[in-house]
Amino acid sequence: MSIRISDRIQSRGAVAARYYSLNGATPQVIDGELVEEGLACISINGEELATFMCSPRDLDKLALGFLLNEGIISGLDDVADLRVADNGACVDVWLTKGEWSRPQRTIITAGCGGGITFDDLSQMHAPLEGTAQATPEQLAEMMRQMHLGAALYQRARGIHTAALADGEKILLQVEDLGRHNCLDKLRGAAILEGVETMGKIVLSSGRISSEMINKARQLGTPIVCSRTSPTSLSVALAEAWNITIVAYLRQDRMRVYTHPERVLGSERMRDWE
């Protein structure tokens, strides 16, 4: 297989690419696209905090969501100014409070390319409250909506997507190379657009690992769905934090790992027991 990358398509999050497609017949030359990958840094008050491998678009949402999820800011009132550099490689955030404390511990997570978090998952957190529920049919339909709404994935493949839903429809949707970046962007989009995340449902195309379930906890979403698998630590944390994990979600198939009553119903659960 041969790939030639041509000029960047700045506004679409992808680059044009010509490749040879082999499908049991004569190779075909295809003019398609590849998702764009780049480095982007977040600086606070002129001091670099973290550098990501990511999809270099919606960086304002990525920066705000990351800072919220890491507890460095608690809302937009903490931000005096936010600017994305012209080259799209840095987000400069200036806080209303002049001083801030850099986290002492950096954890490289199991995210795509090695995610970054400063949160210590060994700390105790209160379980999520709320009565959010969704039927298996509703979850399957929302996963279908998310798949159809993943515009960049439909064009170029090779990218993750995440969505916030209310049980009936998709409220927000984002895309990024990193599944963990998607949840940061989702929280950033929510605060910018004034969408409440508490009690909602998160859907993700990527694996649900410990840092993903921790970001879901911070979003306050008691139901987390994925097209793929959870990890042992994410299941243990979800059990403790009162979060329902639904994995391998496909139309009429899914696996419910924790707190199944939100999806299967308490009465049905009693019948089975």
How confident is the model over 188-201, as pLDDT tens digits? Answer: 999 999 999 999 99
- Identity of residue 272: W
Q: CATH 3.10.20.10 occupies which residues in the chain?
A: 38-117
Domain spanning 136-272: CATH 3.40.190.10: no
CA dihedral of 219, 68, 13, 15, whole degrees rounded to 10:
-110
Residue range 121-128: average pLDDT? 77
Alpha-carbon separation of residue 92 from 16, 115, 213, 223 (angstroms): 29, 20, 27, 33
38-117: CATH architecture: Roll (3.10)
- Identity of residue 141: E
Which tokens belong to 62? 């990525």
Q: Is 182 a catalytic residue?
A: no
pLDDT digits (tens, 9 = 90+) for 199-223: 999 999 999 999 999 999 999 999 9
Residue 19 is predicted with a pLDDT of 80
The residue with greater pLDDT, 245 or 71, is 245
Residue range 137-152: average pLDDT? 95
- Catalytic residue from among 41, 54, 90, 112: 112
Contact status, residue 88 vs residue 211, Cβ threshold 8 Å: no
Residue 116 is predicted with a pLDDT of 57
Residue 29 has pLDDT above 70, yes or no: yes
pTM for this entry: 0.85
% residues pLDDT > 70 (the chain): 85
Residue 36 is predicted with a pLDDT of 87
Contact status, residue 152 vs residue 56, Cβ threshold 8 Å: no
Residue range 3-11: average pLDDT? 37
Residue 11 is predicted with a pLDDT of 40
Residue 113 is predicted with a pLDDT of 47
Neighbouring C-alpha atoms within 13 Å toward the C-beta of 119: 22
- Residue 189 has a CB neighbour count (10 Å cut-off) of 23
Residue 22 is predicted with a pLDDT of 83
Q: Give the chain's largest Cα–Cα span.
A: 64
Q: What separation, in Å, do the N-terminal and C-terminal C-alpha atoms of the chain show?
A: 54
How many Å apart are CA 127 and CA 239, to the nearest integer? 9
The residue with greater pLDDT, 241 or 97, is 241
Q: CATH 3.40.140.10 occupies which residues in the chain?
A: 136-272
pLDDT digits (tens, 9 = 90+) for 43-65: 999 999 988 888 888 999 999 99
Residue 112 has pLDDT above 80, yes or no: no
Residue 264 has pLDDT above 80, yes or no: yes
Which tokens belong to 199? 């009690």
